[in-house]
């Protein structure tokens, strides 16, 4: 029969109470003091403690195993993320390199095209004629029938004036325009006079210039007009552009005056021709200002202006006169 515990509580919790200590009055005790001895724990307590310890060890091992697995999973996730980031960086780098190469190639082709155009613009009359015709075909030629093309096909050798010594390619500036005109235009003194070139009756014709200068901006046309003061002192120069000048004012001016030179933009010139006030019967020279402005733009590389010039003005009004050998073109 198991011993009954006294004192404290009756739970077998492994703690020692006073009742667990046995006092002995044995005479063998040499000190004369009571002899104390510990009562051994009950077998049930020992097994319970062992079981608790075992469970704690198992749980600890399990928690340690879970922690290790979690660490492994986290490390694997980081590795995958780094791999994706590296791959993305490599892809971005490759794309950037490809785009950079593509951009460089595009820039190179553009520069080559520009150089080729400049070579043709500043070349002889035949080269200039070939350039203008090619640009025209690219702009509108594919929209025209063979018969329509035949009506505007001109002889580039006969219809273009070879550049003079004043024509110095990419270094051209406005100060060179007057020498360029004098060297390129036959009998320029007669053209730029009050009497004009040709029969007196024709020279008195209102709104019928001998020379038209075409440029791509109203501001550029205004600058050219100012530079032609030398000529405007002896002959009238018409301003055919939209800078602070209304169409109605230009119509009235052309109806009232005989002009020798007209300076303007493609769209406004076409409009005044279609209004019937700009007469082309005396037109002997068309000077095309092909210089580039500070934005690197000119009459051949601005889409709308190019369309107005090569898509409307030239095929509708200028090329037919060149085909008849009445009018020549000069690229400045």
pLDDT recorded at residue 110: 63
* Residue predicted with more confidence, 185 or 6: 185
pLDDT at 84 exceeding the cut of 60: yes
pLDDT at 76 exceeding the cut of 60: yes
pLDDT at 8 exceeding the cut of 60: no
In this structure, is residue 274 part of a structural domain? yes
pLDDT recorded at residue 197: 55
The CATH number of residue 268's host domain is: 3.40.50.300
Rounded to 5 degrees, φ, ψ at 243 are: -75, 100
Q: What is the mean pLDDT of residues 201-228?
A: 87
* Residue predicted with more confidence, 194 or 299: 299
Sheet holding 237-240, edge to edge: 237-240, 261-264, 211-214, 285-288, 328-331
Measured distance CA(123)–CA(164) in Å, rounded: 10
pLDDT at 279 exceeding the cut of 60: yes
| Sign of the dihedral defined by the CA atoms of residues 243, 249, 250, 253, in that order | negative
pLDDT at 5 exceeding the cut of 80: no
pLDDT recorded at residue 12: 52
In this structure, is residue 155 part of a structural domain? yes
User: Could you report the per-residue pLDDT of 30-53, keeping only the tens digit for each?
Assistant: 455 554 455 555 555 555 555 655
Q: What is the mean pLDDT of residues 246-260?
A: 93
Q: What is the mean pLDDT of residues 268-297?
A: 92
pLDDT at 246 exceeding the cut of 80: yes
Q: Are 35 and 21 in contact (CB under 8 A)?
A: no
In this structure, is residue 273 part of a structural domain? yes
Pairing of strands 328-331, 285-288: parallel
* Residue predicted with more confidence, 263 or 332: 263
H or E element: which one contains 263?
strand 261-264
Q: What is the mean pLDDT of residues 309-324?
A: 94
Residues of the domain holding 196: 123-331
pTM, 2 dp: 0.66
Q: Are 76 and 84 in contact (CB under 8 A)?
A: no
Task: Please give the tally of structural domains in the chain.
Answer: 1
Measured distance CA(266)–CA(109) in Å, rounded: 29
In this structure, is residue 27 part of a structural domain? no
pLDDT recorded at residue 21: 47
**pLDDT band at 74, cuts 50/70/90?**
confident
What distances in angstroms separate CA 318 from CA 77, 82, 211, 231, 242, one per listed residue? Answer: 74, 68, 12, 24, 21
**pLDDT band at 306, cuts 50/70/90?**
very high
Would you call 24 helix, strand, or coil by DSSP? strand
- Mean pLDDT for the chain overall: 76
pLDDT recorded at residue 23: 47
H or E element: which one contains 226?
helix 218-227
pLDDT recorded at residue 170: 53
Would you call 100 helix, strand, or coil by DSSP? helix
In this structure, is residue 53 part of a structural domain? no
In this structure, is residue 20 part of a structural domain? no
pLDDT at 268 exceeding the cut of 70: yes
Would you call 239 helix, strand, or coil by DSSP? strand
pLDDT at 105 exceeding the cut of 70: yes
In this structure, is residue 170 part of a structural domain? yes
* Share above pLDDT 70 across residues of the chain, in percent, rounded to a whole number: 63
Would you call 213 helix, strand, or coil by DSSP? strand
What b/e readout covers 284-303, taking b as 16+ CB neighbours within 10 angstroms?
A: bbbbbbbbbeeeeebbbbbe
Per DSSP, the chain holds a count of helices (H) and strands (E) of 13, 7
In this structure, is residue 31 part of a structural domain? no
């Amino acid at each position: 029969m198991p011993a009954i515990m006294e004192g404290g509580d009756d739970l077998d919790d492994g703690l020692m109470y006073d009742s667990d200590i046995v006092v002995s009055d044995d005479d063998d005790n040499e000190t004369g003091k009571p002899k104390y001895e510990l009562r051994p724990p009950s077998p049930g307590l020992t097994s319970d403690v062992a079981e608790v310890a075992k469970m704690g060890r198992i749980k600890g091992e399990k928690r340690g195993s879970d922690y290790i697995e979690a660490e492994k999973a986290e490390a694997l996730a980081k590795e995958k993320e780094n791999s994706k980031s590296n791959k993305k960086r490599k892809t971005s780098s490759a794309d950037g390199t490809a785009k950079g190469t593509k951009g460089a190639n595009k820039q190179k082709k553009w520069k080559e095209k520009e150089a080729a155009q400049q070579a043709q613009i500043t070349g002889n009359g035949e080269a200039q004629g070939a350039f203008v015709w090619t640009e025209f075909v690219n702009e509108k030629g594919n929209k025209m029938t063979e018969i329509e093309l035949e009506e505007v096909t001109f002889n580039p050798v006969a219809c273009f004036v070879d550049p003079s010594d004043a024509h110095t390619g990419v270094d051209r500036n406005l100060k060179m325009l007057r020498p360029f005109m004098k060297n390129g235009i036959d009998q320029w003194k007669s053209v730029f006079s009050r009497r004009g070139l040709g029969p007196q009756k024709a020279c008195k014709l209102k709104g019928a210039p001998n020379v038209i200068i075409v440029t791509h901006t109203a501001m550029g046309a205004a600058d050219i007009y100012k530079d032609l003061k030398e000529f405007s002192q002896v002959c009238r120069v018409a301003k055919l552009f939209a800078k602070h000048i209304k169409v109605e004012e230009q119509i009235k001016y052309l109806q009232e005056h005989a002009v020798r030179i007209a300076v303007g933009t493609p769209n406004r010139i076409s409009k005044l021709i279609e209004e019937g006030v700009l007469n082309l019967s005396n037109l002997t020279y068309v000077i095309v200002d092909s210089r580039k402005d500070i934005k690197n733009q000119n009459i051949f590389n601005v889409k709308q202006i190019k369309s107005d010039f090569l898509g409307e003005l030239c095929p509708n009004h200028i090329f037919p006169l060149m085909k008849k050998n009445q009018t020549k073109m000069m690229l400045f």
